[in-house]
Structure 1
């Protein structure tokens, strides 16, 4: 049964098949540009602090309001 909260259901199912947890697979499948191929999604270093903050908020990183840009990047990569 499709989950309406998952933006990219095929990617979600593929990640689940690879052994990813439901939470991590959903987070990846719901990330804008996550499914783009060929390096089209720009690296975090090219994002503005506001973009990084919003992404951190989307994935539920706590303490983000006190983080600078490099801390946000590290938190997003390690979440």
Structure 2
């Protein structure tokens, strides 16, 4: 058995994994960081790697938003007297 046969993953399995990741991002990340599947097709393309690229961009956008949110909030005032 060669490496290419071991490393081959079916497209349906990849699509299922990307769908699971997409649903998780839609549920837990800020609204709008991941375009709809239809928009991804227009912006990136219809392929599996195009969906993966859109997901990666959404993850990076979420990180940026979280970092900005933590910078914008000043530290809580001390309650010690």
TM-score computed with the length of structure 2 as normaliser: 0.27
Greater RCO structure (CA 8 Å; 6+ sep): 2
Instruction: Point out the structure with max Rg over C-alpha.
Output: 2
Q: Which has the higher helix share?
A: 2
TM-score computed with the length of structure 1 as normaliser: 0.27
